[in-house]
Amino acid sequence: MSYTDLTAMILRILERQRDAILHGDLAHLAQDTLLLGRLVPRLAATQPTPQILTQIQTAAQRNAALLFSAKQGIDDAKRLLGQSGAQSFSTYTVSGQRQTITAPQSTLSRQS
């Protein structure tokens, strides 16, 4: 297999990983990561050009940034869900007055 075929395959996999990250499909993300682990050393053995390496690096960095952002979002959601007390948010009425809406206190215990 030529390095152009390997490059195209690696870039397709990185694009699939991007889609998997955006859709939260961790199973496909893990499978593609294993496949990349086998293909990248083969590509390195073909001595690819710096331009090809830059393309792959750019796609991999994009995916890393997406993963980091997804993790931050999950951590933020966990933190918000873990806060005790009444949850509230502010909005504005039709007349432009600020209004705070608070969730009613639950009378059920969520602990078992």
CB atoms within 10 A of CB 77: 10
H helix or E strand, kind and range, residue 40:
helix 26-45
Contact between 40 and 7 (Cβ < 8 Å): no
Better-predicted residue by pLDDT, 77 or 49? 49
Supply 73's token pair: 């979002």
Is the pLDDT at 10 greater than 90? The verdict is yes
Residues 6+ apart with CB under 8 A from 109: none
Contact between 18 and 30 (Cβ < 8 Å): no
Could you tell me the maximum CA-CA distance found in the chain, to the nearest angstrom?
68
**Amino acid residing at 50:** P
Q: pLDDT value at position 109?
A: 56
CB atoms within 10 A of CB 21: 20
pTM of the model: 0.67
Burial class (CB in 10 A: 0-12, 13-18, 19+), 36: middle
Beta bridge mates, 101: 89
Q: pLDDT value at position 99?
A: 81
Compute the mean pLDDT over every residue in the chain, rounded to the nearest whole number: 84
